[in-house]
Structure 1
Amino acid sequence: MKVQFLKSTVREFPPADKPEVVFVGRSNVGKSSLINMVTGRNIARVSKEPGRTRTINYFLLEDSVYLVDVPGYGFARVPKEEQERWKSMMENYFRERKENIKMVFVLIDAVAGVQKLDEQMLEWLQFIGVPFTVVLTKTDKAKQKELSRTLKQVKGYVGETAIVMSSAKEGKGKKEILSRIFS
């Protein structure tokens, strides 16, 4: 699979000449690991420390679609002012690129379950009318009880058809995610 890093930016986006697929989720939910698993390359920087992604990162997949990795929300250890800048940057990005965004993958940790900030993200995406799919990450680490609880929480927001189970470690969900990216 052909993929290349294009740029990290705060507000100077690439030309709106290709559809964009965006990966959002809490800090440390596994966005970069998932992007690496889906593309088959270690192209997105993975860190064990929450909040390492601080810009909007563009990758070009198969010369036809932009994959967009955005800063995580939640428990990143950064000053409140930095979190406010990220929030403003995200709102600006979605406002400017709404017509170009064809899918948002909302990553939710299968072990931790749906958190308040995840609920807010799902409600906000519904409000602004952007199509999204929930990707449950780290399913390999979740006990059956945790997975059942998280699935029940998510189904309350999106139903069953907009959920993909994934594990970057095991490669689970890759086919489903690529199918949604290219459809």
Structure 2
Amino acid sequence: MFESRPDRDAEVVLLGRSNVGKSTLMRELTGHTFSTGGKPGVTRAPNHYDWAPESFVLTDLPGFGFMEGVPEERREQIKTDIVHYLEEYADDILVGVLVVDGKSVVDIIDRHSARDELPHDVELFHFLEELGIPAVVAVNKMDKVDDRDERLNALCERLGLLPPWQQWQDTIAPITAKRGSIDPLTEAVRTHLHDAKRDDLFKFF
């Protein structure tokens, strides 16, 4: 289990496959540099960015899924740890931000579905819902996507949301973290913080 979490009663978590840009997004949100690597699986334990006065913590959970050079057993353990973390702190987590790679996410989901597996991204999206945690899908690296609307609509379909994607702007947020283009995400997160009566946290988003 991940034992390093500060004792805070409000949290926003970032989760997603390895190498989708979670740490870059974390840096963009906090102005603080975390170790990012071209090699998947650099983040093996949660990175917590802590604002004690507001009793608020932003957490970047380790990447899951295939990682070159990481044994399957270890990959499964990371996924199990993430699930336990979400279950344990569900009451304090105000938003779960599922970060995906806009260019490859639909293909990855389809590839797993073809093997009769439930793709991790879809599974975690619904798991957040089950736990009562509002989910925002940060569709990253959109600067590399040509067929933007088509791609976002296809992702919605895979997640069980009726297209067009534009009607889900509190759930689907197309961003390019590397370029600092994250407004759709911060707006979506603020919607959920407002619903949780935590407008005081807007300054972090």
When residues 174 and 39 of structure 1 are mapped into structure 2, their CA distance, relative to the original with a 3 A threshold, is farther
How many residues align? The count is 171
TM-score with structure 2 length normalisation?
0.74
Give 1:160's aligned residue.
168
- The 5 A counterparts of 1:85-164 are 85-114=77-106, 115=109, 116-143=119-146, 145=147, 147-156=148-157, 157=159, 158=161, 160-161=168-169, 162-164=171-173
Q: Distance in 1 between matches of 2:186 and 2:88?
A: 25
Q: For structure 1, list consecutive stretches of 5 or more residues without a partner in the other structure.
A: 1-8
Pairwise CA RMSD: 2.2
Higher strand share goes to which structure?
1
Quick check: which has more Rg, 1 or 2?
2
- Does the 8 A contact of 1:113 with 1:153 survive in 2? no
In the alignment, what sits opposite 2:18?
A: 27
Kindly indicate whether the alpha-carbon contact (under 8 Å) linking 2:175 and 2:184 is maintained by their aligned counterparts in 1: no
How high is the sequence identity, in percent, across the aligned residues?
Answer: 29
Deviations 1:88-108 (A, max 9, x none): 211221121111100011111
Matched, 1:47 2:43: no
Higher relative contact order (CA 8 A, sep 6+): 1
What secondary structure, in the 3-state scheme, does the structure 2 residue paired with 1:140 have?
helix
For 1:68 and 1:36, the matched residues in 2 are separated by 11
* 1:37 counterpart letter in structure 2: E
From the two aligned structures, give the one with the greater helix fraction: 2
Q: Measure the CA separation in 2 of the matches of 1:167 and 1:129.
A: 27
Specify whether residues 30 and 154 from structure 1 end up closer, same or farther in structure 2 by C-alpha distance, changes over 3 A only. same
| Cα pair distance change 1:58/1:84, threshold 3 Å | same
Cα deviation, residue 12, structure 1: 4.2
